[in-house]
Amino acid sequence: MARYKKPKQIERYWFETYGCQMNIAESEALEMQLRGIGLTEAETCEEADIAIINTCSVRKSAENRVWGRIGNYSRIKSEHPMILVVMGCMAERLKDTLIKDAPQIDYVFGTNDKLKIVDVALGSHKKIESEETYNFLKNYYKEGDVSTFVPIMNGCNNFCTYCIVPYVRGREVSRNLQEVIEEIKFLDSKGVKEITLLGQNVNSYKYTDEAGNEIRFPQLLEKVAQNAGNIEWVRFESPHPKDFSDELIEVIKNEKKVAKHIHLPIQSGNDRILKLMNRRYDSASLKVLIDKIRAADSNITFSTDVMVGFPGESEDEYEDTQIMMNYLRCTEAFMYYWNPREGTPATKMDGQISHEVKLRRLQAIIERQHEIFAVEKTILAKGVHKVLVTKVSRDDKEQYLGRGEHNERVAFSHNDNISIDDIAEVEYLGINGNTVVGRAIK
C-alpha cells in the first residue's frame, strides 16, 4: 500500500546532482532529454512532478548527504504527488538497501540505466529492465554554456585499492569516435570556447570502428583538436600516468588547440605506497614521464591529485610525496587525506593512520605546495595570454575575472569591448595571492 501519491501528469522536473563532472555532464544531458519531451524545470524541488537525485559514492559523506535528501523527500512527497528517482553510483552500489529502506523512492537506476528516466517521465509503465552496458548520451551540452564537458569513456579497469569507482561505474566503455566528433562540431556551432574530454581513466580510451581500426586516446585527441573550429582549448581529465604514452605527448605538443596544462594525478611519491595503492607506476617512471612532458613543451604546466595518510604510510614515505610534488611543480592541486571507503581493499589494510597525523600531514603539504603554486604562477604571469572571461568581480566592478589556458584564475581591468564569455587578450602583470592580475589588451 503506497503512502505516496503519483502525479497525474509529469510536467516539471528537478535535478539534484552530487559528485564528479561525469555526473554533472550526465544530469545536464538528461535535462536536455526531458526538455525535449516537453518538461520544464521546476522552481523548487517541492513543485516538481519528478525529482531526480544523481548520486556519488566516492566518499561516505557524499552518500550521507544523499540519505539526508532522501529523508527530506519523504516529507515533500507526503504533501505533494511526485516521482522520486535515485540514479548514479550510489544507486548502483546500494540499490537493494535504497529500495528496502526508503519507500519514498519510486525508481533506483544504476549507472547503465539513466535513460530509463525518460521512459518514466513519459509515463511509461512498462517493466524497466536493467541494461547490461553503459550507453553514452547523444549530447551533453547545456544551452548557453561556453565551457563544457564531453564524456568519451566511462568506467575503470584499474582497481586502485582506495577507489570505489570500478565497483559502481563498471568496466571501461569507450564512446563512438564519430559521435564524439559530431558533438565537437555541434559545440563549435554553439560558440563553445573550451571543452574537457571526460573519463574516469580518460587516456585508456579505446574504440574499434566498423572497419576494425582501433582508435586510442592520442588519435581521438588529435581528431578532436583538428575538428575544434573556433573552440579555443581542448582539455582532458583525468588521465592515468601509466597510460600516458609518448604518442599522447606528441599530440599535446603538436596540436595548438590542446591546452598546455595537464592534470596528472600522482597520488603518492613513494614506491611502496604506490604499490599498495595498485597504481601500477613507481616514482622513477613518474619522473621520466614528467621530464618527457616538460621536454616536449616547456610551457606545459601541471595540476595533480595527491593523497596523504594512506594505511601504513610512514613519515619518510609521506616525505617522498612532498619530494615528488616538488619535482612536479604544480600550479594547483587537489590534496586530501585518505578516508576509509567501505567496499574498497584499503579499508581493511593494516596500519591505519590516526586522524591527527593525517591532518598534520595534509596541512603541511598544502602549506608547502601553496608556496610552489605561487612561484609557478609568478613564472606564468608574463606576456599576453588568452583568457576566458567568466564574470565581473564582486569586490571591484571595474575588474573581470577569467581563466587562462593553464587554468589560472585571472583578474584584469575592465574594457568596454569585452563581455562575459568572450576570449580576451590580457597582459599579465604579476600575481596577487593565488590570482594572476593583468590588463585587457582586447
| Residues engaged in binding ligand SF4 (CB under 6 A) | 156, 158-160, 163, 165-166, 200-201, 240
Radius of gyration over every alpha carbon of the chain, rounded to an integer in angstroms: 23
The alpha carbon of 241 is separated from its chain's Cα centroid by a whole number of angstroms, namely 17
* 119 DSSP assignment: H
Smallest gap from residue 158 Cβ to ligand SF4 (A): 4
CB of 49 to ligand SF4, least distance (A): 35
Whichever of 156 and 426 has its CB closer to ligand SF4, that residue is 156
Cβ contact 255:296 at 8 Å: no
Nearer residue to ligand SF4 within complex by CB, 240 or 385: 240
Q: Nearer Cβ to ligand SF4, position 116 or 279?
A: 279
In sequence order, the β-bridge partners of residue 266 are none
> Least distance (Å) from ligand SF4 to the CB of residue 238?
7
Question: Which residue, 305 or 319, has its beta carbon nearer to ligand SF4?
Answer: 305
CB of 242 to ligand SF4, least distance (A): 9
Cell of residue 10, nine digits: 509529469
DSSP assignments along 405-433, one per residue = TT--EEEEE--TT--TTPEEEEEEEEEET
Angle between helices 177-189 and 217-226 (to 10 degrees): 30
Residue 59 Cβ vs ligand SF4, minimum distance, rounded to whole Å: 13
Write down the least CB distance from residue 157 to ligand SF4, Å. Answer: 8
- Quick one: which H or E segment has residue 40? strand 40-41
**Rounded distance between C-alpha atoms, residue 324 and residue 281, angstroms:** 13
* Minimum distance, C-beta of residue 159 to ligand SF4, in the bound complex (Å): 6
**How far apart (Å, rounded) are the C-alpha atoms in residues 390 and 327?**
32
| Distance between CA atoms of residues 106 and 83, nearest Å | 6
Residue 372 Cβ vs ligand SF4, minimum distance, rounded to whole Å: 23
- Is the previous residue joined to 57 through a cis bond, with omega within 30 degrees of 0? no
Q: Indicate the residue among 162 and 302 with the shorter CB distance to ligand SF4.
A: 162
Indicate the residue among 171 and 292 with the shorter CB distance to ligand SF4: 171
Closer CB to ligand SF4, 53 or 156, in the complex: 156
Amino acid at 379: I
- Nearer of residues 54 and 161 to ligand SF4, judged by Cβ: 161
Buried b (16+ CB within 10 A) or exposed e, 371-407: ebbeebbeebbeeebebbbeeeeeeeeebbbbbbbbb
What angle, rounded to 10 degrees, do the helices at 315-328 and 355-380 form? 10
